[in-house]
Structure 1
Amino acid sequence: MDKGSRTIVIVVAVIVLLAVVGYALGLFNVDASGDLKTPEVSVTGGEIPEVQVETGEINIGTEKATVPVPEVDVKTDNVEIDVPTVDIKPAGDDGSAKQ
């Protein structure tokens, strides 16, 4: 895969991820009307190939180790600062989609 194709795939993946997150957070509401009809598909001929897959193995665990850890004496003060906030208002449903 060349660099241009890889960039397009990454951009599309990011857009899809943002849409899913936005919908999950209620940033937009989707209403649909009408009936869902699947297309009729006819398949003739062909053959399913036999596939054999061998996979590697990944083991995750822990082990004891001794590492040097510096001792630090930290003095703290309380200071008043402005911190960022996030306020999410879910999309409303105006009932425009007819059932």
Structure 2
Amino acid sequence: MRGTELKDGQHSTPDPSERSQLWPRVLGSLALFGLLIGLMIGRLTNPEPARLDNIEVHRDQLVLWFNDEPKVHAEVVEGTVAMLFDATGAPASGRLL
């Protein structure tokens, strides 16, 4: 065919309606890909919180073992010094084994 005019019910170029159906799929694929990449980057930049692994009692001291260095904050509460560690651990109901 030399031109874009209709000959025998066929065009030399596809209908615009067929082309426009692909554009939302492309945009949806790009959005999904961007979301997944963003989630992976967020997971890499946000490490897991420190965890209390073990507590040992030695003479005149208490030794705490963490899997990573926790954030520490000290406060004076009614004349005593309280050390606050930003970490998680298994509940022991206030008992030291």
Shorter-chain TM-score: which interval? Answer: under 0.3
Identify, as 1 or 2, the structure richer in strand: 2
- TM-score when normalising by structure 1: 0.26
Q: Which has the higher contact order (CA 8 A, sep 6+)?
A: 1
- TM-score when normalising by structure 2: 0.27
Identify, as 1 or 2, the structure richer in helix: 2
